[in-house]
A = this chain, B = another copy of it.
């Protein structure tokens, strides 16, 4: 069994890029999607024509972006039926050609993202808990939570954590909310990547995840929101301390 992309997350992670320099935006989007583990190593990206449509960009521009990823060693491309671009690595190293500054953010933007997160993620948890979840929904949620618990290695743990939060956002049913959470998780990932010596309290985090997921499946909206708020506060306190 080869690795499978997490298609239920791509809708919000790959959002339209519009820009006179759409090329750079595409590179950032795709690199982020790979970084967050939406397309794990070994998986195939969607066909160029489909990706171009999702990113609201011409195929020519998308191809340039893929070429950059290929040059950076993130993907390999094969032709013909069944071909495509395969994710081969998630090297956190800077992309070549001056693309390092992409998605850079100032310190104040990082702090703002933490504030914003404390609103949207608890809100998403609240909304998700207010719905009557279907069986598959519940399965996806518990599977994501278990994946975080089982992940070994810092990078894998980080990705599984991102996916859990994105899954909760998707259960909210709001595309706008899911988009907001995706954006927040992306910058959060940048922050955690820029501070490699971070060692959060994994056990505590796992307990919070467990509580959040249980509250969501049990329909305890207020409780889900409160625990998520605490969860965000804990992460934020840790990061704020390291940012000075």
Contacts and interface: CB of A to CB of B under 8 A. Distances in A.
Contacts of A180: 116, 180
A188 interface: no
Which secondary structure dominates chain A's binding surface? Answer: helix
A116 B19 contact: no
Nearest to A121: B119
A22 interface: yes
Interface string A169-210: 000111111001000000000000000000000000000000
Interface string A103-139: 0000000001101101110011011000000000000
Given A18-B20, A115-B174, 8 more contacts: A112-B174, A115-B127, A115-B173, A115-B176, A116-B177, A116-B180, A119-B120, A120-B123
Contact of A19 (B19, B115, B119, B176): B19
Nearest to A21: B18
A113 B180 CA distance: 12
Contacts of A113: 176
Interface residues of A, number: 23
A2 to B, nearest CB: 35
Contacts of A123: 118-120, 123
A124 B115 contact: no
A227 to B, nearest CB: 16
Nearest to A115: B174
A119 B124 contact: yes
Contacts of A124: 119
A120 to B, nearest CB: 6
Interface string A6-22: 00000000000011111
Nearest to A19: B18
A19 B18 CA distance: 4
Contact of A116 (B21, B112, B176): B176
